[in-house]
Structure 1
């Protein structure tokens, strides 16, 4: 049964991708938009490498690993799980009600609703930045470090998905909660590329335990580069970042199921 579900999902994805290719100019434009959207990170990386040698006690080559990890995690999130962003519009328009009567889990239908062409642009920039970060790094990239970096990227993807899934769950009860999605995306993009120890401690604590942004890229990069002691938090907390992403996503999916079971329509 599960194998059949995978085949159906793959077939729908192929059809969605082919439908995007029907309009080649728009397809290429969406890829370009995805890449241009990350221009601020590219500018940050350029300024970092040309004007600064250190930031918050980190070498510029080590700092570069933070935006590279965050962008790669974000690109994978947009590609695989990003349709939860803006789900409130589906709820406000009553589209979610049609999903409820179909013989497929609602969450899966949301993720298969269209192919995110802009993710190609996001990932192109992210892969280029990661390649640049690795080439400038002085670390000895052993099999263990590479495995942890892969786990960190996947954990960051799942953590970002958990945040937007939780927001989508809130939108089932309060459709206006969807507007917080843009604010959340702005926070991730603004603070996700810096060593958080350059910020006031209260702000760093808020972005660690209030909004767990630190676990997406900052803590994993700190653990990899030996800056765990600079974070102001226990080293094991930084090392456990990928696991937190998995647990947060599982928790968010449970919240989604509970919220969907109590969904009574856009008008309550």
Structure 2
């Protein structure tokens, strides 16, 4: 983006924040809702730390790093790139056609549609969980390990955004594909916080190579904690998870652009 485009994005974002805070009670309730939405992960972490010593060969502090990484990546995705999650509804209502008439990329307009206050709640819980995971960890947090963790969170954010962008691209041709995003969100919430080696091998393989949820948090956490050679995935591929997230996101944006160029309206 050019400097002028960045300024426009910044101004619109500030206007969206001000508009969201116009009704402060609703704004605060949205933040609380974002935090409450993660209550299942909080309960899982509490039970894990209080009742179990580990899971799937990982000790409890190592397991805790998986949901912490996933939630932090998810919170950033919701804050920065999450509006693609709801594009299917806008396509079904015909509002996407309005975006096509404006002199700004459609993807950018979608991301600037509103400010997701619930992301603040998501990130607050995620940050607390990450602090807890790091403080309980026995790892030596060198600068290299910290840098890899940051890269893993960013890569996880991009990979999750890529999956929802791909669904949005499919919705341009098949509006009912919007329901896939709900299914995808359920899968991320259900399986994204556990070591996948506790699942049947076929399920773990599907969530690694079919729908690459393992690369969001499980495989990066395995590399950080020394379990990278025990995941059933080549170590170099597990270690490259952050890079894979960036590449898959780039591919999803190309798919979105290709699909948008062939969009003929909600009624075909």
The interval holding the TM-score normalised by the smaller chain is over 0.9
CA distance in 2 between counterparts of 1:230 and 1:189 reads 23
Deviates more, 1:1-10 or 1:245-254: 1-10
Alignment of 1:60-75 (within 5 A): 60-75=60-75
* Corresponding residue for residue 19 of structure 2: 19
The answer to whether structure 1 residue 192 and structure 2 residue 211 are counterparts is no
CA distance in 2 between counterparts of 1:70 and 1:233 reads 19
CA distance in 2 between counterparts of 1:20 and 1:162 reads 26
Which residues of structure 1 form unaligned runs of 5+? none
CA distance in 2 between counterparts of 1:204 and 1:80 reads 29
CA distance in 1 between counterparts of 2:255 and 2:5 reads 23
Deviates more, 1:1-10 or 1:117-126: 1-10
The answer to whether structure 1 residue 234 and structure 2 residue 238 are counterparts is no
* Corresponding residue for residue 251 of structure 1: 251
* Corresponding residue for residue 79 of structure 2: 79
TM-score by length of 1: 0.99
CA distance in 1 between counterparts of 2:88 and 2:200 reads 34
- Describe the SS at the equivalent of 1:86: helix
CA distance in 2 between counterparts of 1:101 and 1:246 reads 30
* Corresponding residue for residue 54 of structure 1: 54
Following TM superposition, the consecutive aligned residue runs of length 4 or more in structure 1 with deviations greater than 6 angstroms are: none
Which residues of structure 2 form unaligned runs of 5+? none
Q: Deviations over 1:152-187 (max 9, x none)?
A: 000000000000000000000000000111110000
Shift of 1:233: 1.5
* Corresponding residue for residue 207 of structure 2: 207
Shift of 1:69: 0.1
- Describe the SS at the equivalent of 2:188: helix
Shift of 1:23: 0.2
Q: Deviations over 1:108-133 (max 9, x none)?
A: 00000000000000000000000000
Shift of 1:218: 0.2
Shift of 1:229: 1.9
* Corresponding residue for residue 102 of structure 2: 102
* Corresponding residue for residue 171 of structure 2: 171
Instruction: Provide the aligned length of Structure 1 versus Structure 2.
Output: 268
* Corresponding residue for residue 6 of structure 2: 6
